[in-house]
Amino acid sequence: MNKKLLGFIPFLIFIFLCVFLYQGLFGNPRELQTGRIGQAMPSFVLPDLMDESKQWRDSDLKGQVYLLNVWGTWCPTCIAELGYLTELREQGVRIIGLYYEQAYDPDFGDQFDINALRNEVQTMLARAGNPYQFNILDLDRTLALDLGVSGAPETFLVDANGKILLHHTGDINPRVWRAKFAPVMQELSQ
């Protein structure tokens, strides 16, 4: 190889690192996007949180625009957003909960008490507001992993055909709703 060309390799590595670090330094962590934007909701069959005899499928959700809100009672930000999400439900926004159980890990032999979780969820929703049409229990986090969920809360806007249009990491509040979700909802209603 040419010695002059070899001399440029450290310089190119330096430029690459500068660009990479600059993006990390000034990037907005709330703008993390799933790779599923524009794609169909992943296929799933998961139980209803409050009634294990009821199974929900991705096909059950088609036909209407909805928000899929990933949440948990262990999450303070999730609890804080329940009031505003309840206001949105009262305005006609369809919201489906995807309950993300953080404390359970079967690989470590954890025991899971579904009745205790149901009581905790009922108490929380009665106190803070219940925006959900229903809650899907994703105990093994299969759907959450397929969606690229990194924690809670996260919210996905899904169209009537089951296509993911938006993904927001963090709480939904009036500012976020006006800036990010309302314009897309307006387009969908036309």
- pLDDT per residue as tens digits for the range 99-124: 998 776 666 666 778 899 999 999 99
Residues 135-180 have pLDDT tens digits of 999 988 899 999 999 889 999 999 999 999 999 999 999 999 999 9
The pLDDT, as a whole number, for residue 31 is: 47
Cβ(152)–Cβ(100) under 8 Å? yes
- Cβ 122 vs Cβ 99: under 8 Å: no
Residue 81 burial (C-beta neighbours within 10 Å; 0-12, 13-18, 19+) = buried
Q: Is the pLDDT of residue 40 over 90?
A: yes
**CA pair distance 166, 153, nearest whole angstrom:** 14
- Range 4-29 average pLDDT: 61
Lowest mean pLDDT among 6-10, 70-74, 161-165: 6-10
d(CA 22, CA 14): 12
Sheet holding 135-137, edge to edge: 135-137, 95-99, 66-71, 154-158, 164-169
pTM: 0.81
Rounded to the nearest integer, the mean pLDDT of the chain is: 87
Give, in order, the Cα–Cα distances in Å from 32 to each of 19, 44, 74, 156.
Answer: 18, 23, 22, 12
Helix (H, G, I), strand (E, B) or coil at 2: coil
Q: Which of 171, 68, 183 is nearest to 128 (CA)?
A: 171
Backbone angles phi, psi at 46, to 5 degrees: -135, 155
> Has residue 10 got a pLDDT over 90?
no
- Could you tell me if 96 and 133 are in contact, meaning their C-beta atoms sit under 8 angstroms apart? yes
